[in-house]
Amino acid sequence: AKQAFVRTKPHLNIGTMGHVDHGKTTLTAAITKVLAERGGGTYVPFDRIDRAPEEAARGITINISHVEYETATRHYAHVDMPGHADFVKNMITGAAQLDGAILVVSAQDGVMPQTAEHVLLARQVGVEHVVVALNKADGADPELLELVELEVRELLSAHGYDGETLPVVRVSGLLALGGDPEWERALLGLLGAVDDHIPTPVRYTDAPFLLPVENVLTITGRGTVVTGAVERGRVRTGDRVEVLGYDGRVESVVTGVETFGRTMESAEAGDNVALLLRGVQRGQVRRGQVVAALGSASVHGRFTARIHLLSAAEGGRRTPVTSGYRPQFYLRTGDVVGHIELAEGAGPVPPGETVEVTVTLGVPVPLEPGLGFAVREGGRTVAAGTVLTVLD
């Protein structure tokens, strides 16, 4: 019989954000080192994090590095991005789906432009929980530390976070990485604050089940299998589901759940799984559709969105966008042609700008506010967006 998968701790997705050179990558390396020495994962050195391979998330190239580690109570996947543009694209497309963020601020430099921009963006895309790493605390004078802490708390409050009460922990990523016991303890303090302050995102597992279909396979003698990452909720053998989107809809019952070749009693948000679907023919399902708890998802062909047009330097267009523009929209695992309308009276929008638009899709797909997407044209990505409201 196949081996069973054992889940021991709740899983969270977090990431570092903050101004360039404030120490995000050093801190990320230090976290893996300090925890690895205590049985919480594998040390990932600075060079391996900073030279991460590029990833094509929804058709956009993003330099992003994933590390994983465990505290006593949690399993974390942690992302670190080398550049400001990588961070912006990642946040807008929702590629990382952060449950919380560690805002890294150098105590020696204070709040800088990208510090403020990342806080604003985190708020806009719905990252609700932030813990501050007041980094480079080694050698910073105590009065400066106080001042910078006040400044960061004010910035967070101004963007709707609980700036007065959220944890601000003084750390030195560099000296913790170097094995200094005082700063190793400070780093464990930061991780304790992350454990305590960033809640386990129960809403994703309590929400109705949804899985975007990445692949469809036929297993001789068993039937049709769909694969993908569970976006929300839980699923187990015997559950009634529907597969929908792109003018298709079929009801089914899940007759098997597996992950990396091991059987699972139940899969939940974040898990990569294969689902065996009873009575479904291979031609009835396709990539881009979603498998959802019966009656829990609906398809829509019109919505408002905030889109960021990539600049020419980021590989975007060279010319402005006007109403009537018809690019390809990449939503979850699928893509569909759509039509963009600008707000009434709005002039052409040049590359590099962010605007609110109304989108009409050629085929209705499962949609909801907060969903991230990419916009492509002639084989290249020209914009990243987020659904604001669903119209019909």
**Where do contacts with ligand GDP occur on this chain (CB under 6 A)?**
20-26, 135-136, 138, 172-174
Instruction: Determine, following the binding rule CB under 5 A, whether residue 135 of this chain makes contact with Mg ion.
Output: no
The catalytic residue positions are: 21, 24-25, 84
Q: C-alpha distances in angstroms, 255 versus 223, 245, 271, 354?
A: 10, 22, 17, 45
The Cα–Cα gap between 372 and 268 comes to: 21
The binder of 223, among Mg ion, ligand GDP, none, by C-beta within 5 to 8 A per type, is: none
Of 201, 230, 275, the closest CA to residue 14 belongs to: 201
What is the Cα–Cα distance from 340 to 321, expressed in whole angstroms? Answer: 9
Nearer to ligand GDP, 82 or 372 (CB): 82
Q: Which residue has the tokens 């069973």?
A: 4
Pattern 344-373, binding to Mg ion, x per CB under 5 A? ------------------------------
Output the smallest distance, CB 94 to Mg ion, in A. 21
From residue 11, alpha-carbon distances to 77, 120, 198, 310 in Å are 8, 25, 12, 33
φ/ψ region of 165 (left if φ > 0, alpha if ψ in -120 to 50, else beta) reads alpha
Please identify, using beta-carbon distances, which residue of 49 and 95 lies nearer to ligand GDP: 49
Residue 328 engages Mg ion in binding (rule: CB under 5 A): no
Q: In this complex, which beta carbon is closest to ligand GDP, that of residue 174 or of residue 213? A: 174
Angle between helix axes 181-197 and 24-36 (nearest 10 degrees) is: 100
Nearer to Mg ion, 24 or 118 (CB): 24
CB of 294 to ligand GDP, least distance (A): 46
x/- mask, Mg ion, residues 70-89, rule CB under 5 A, reads ------------x-------
Between 64 and 383, whose beta carbon lies closer to Mg ion? Answer: 64
Minimum CB separation from ligand GDP for residue 182, in Å? 12
CB of 79 to ligand GDP, least distance (A): 12
Structure tokens at 329: 């929209």
Give the angle subtended at the CA of 11 by the CAs of 232 and 273, to the nearest 5°.
50
Give the whole-angstrom CA distance, residue 278 versus residue 239. 11
| 25 part of the interface to Mg ion, by CB under 5 A | yes
CB of 19 to Mg ion, least distance (A): 11
Closest residue by beta carbon to ligand GDP:
23
What's the rounded Cα separation, in Å, for the pair 40 and 150? Answer: 33
74 binds, among ligand GDP, Mg ion, none (CB under 5 to 8 A by kind): none
State the Cα angle at 326 between 366 and 330, rounded to 5°.
35
**Residue length of the chain:** 392
Cβ at position 381, least distance to ligand GDP in Å: 24
- Which of Mg ion, ligand GDP, none has residue 173 at its interface (CB below 5 to 8 Å by kind)? ligand GDP
User: Which of 178, 148, 172, 152 shows the shortest CA–CA distance to 164?
Assistant: 152
Taking the least distance from each CB to ligand GDP, the nearer of 30 and 35 is 30
Asked if residues 24 and 18 have their Cβ atoms less than 8 Å apart, the reply is yes
Question: Closest separation between CB of residue 260 and Mg ion, Å?
Answer: 30
Strand partners, 305: 357, 387
Which residue has the CB atom at the shortest distance from Mg ion?
25
Output 17 or 292, the one with its CB closest to ligand GDP: 17
334 binds, among ligand GDP, Mg ion, none (CB under 5 to 8 A by kind): none
Which residues contact Mg ion by CB under 5 A?
24-25, 82
